[in-house]
Amino acid sequence: MVQIAPSILSADFAQLGAEVVALEKAGADLIHIDVMDGHFVPNLTFGAPVIRDIRSYTTLPFDVHLMMTNPIRYIPDFIRAGADMITVHLEANDDIETLISLVKKEGKKVGLSIRPSTSVSRLLPYLPMIDMVLVMSVEPGFGGQSFIPNSLEKIVQLKDLIGRKKVQISVDGGINDITAPACKLAGADILVAGSYIFKHPPYATQIDKLKRA
């Protein structure tokens, strides 16, 4: 069954601790945390102190998605704050192999994310080194966008490139009860959902719909 990773970008920021507790009770498999620097994308969100503060509210894994131009200087802070996986963008300015090595050295999982305009073939050299690929099915930076249809073709291509490697495919953006089945059929292992879960409670019902899609 596909795993569901609620994105707390769509949560009530004034109640993040309670929101994380509710998500675990509702059947979420992991928590997706979008960190934006206002440069790589035109928005600002969380810093490491926020992640540290909500870490004690759940035992669910935290996938910290760094939408940052130069993530290397911040990775140690997010790991100390409680990240279980660090996902960086292939399009970041820092050397990708150095980023991967830094996260692995700390004993954490590492993911690589690609924008909608980035070819999956660019991931090929890094697939033996990573644990997950995050396919952005919307332009990164804001929640509530519509799913970009050609993302499905990218998932299929990626599944073929991965082959027998133990690399999961996560999809982020525009996930709902219509797009989820198509993503799962294409080969997705994890679905990141924000608005679909948080804007239409109860959370358990929405998460269950996505899992059974």
Catalytic residue list:
34, 172
Cα distance between the two ends of the chain:
9
Both tokens of 201, joined, read 């409670």
Give the integer Cα–Cα distance in Å for 21 and 25. 6
State which amino acid sits at residue 108: K
Report the distance separating Cα 35 and Cα 9, nearest Å.
Answer: 9
Report which residue type is found at 19: E
Dihedral angle sign, alpha carbons of residues 31, 36, 41, 43: positive
- Residue for token pair 């920021």: 13
11 burial class (0-12, 13-18, 19+ CB within 10 angstroms)?
A: buried
Cβ atoms of 36 and 9 within 8 Å: the answer is no
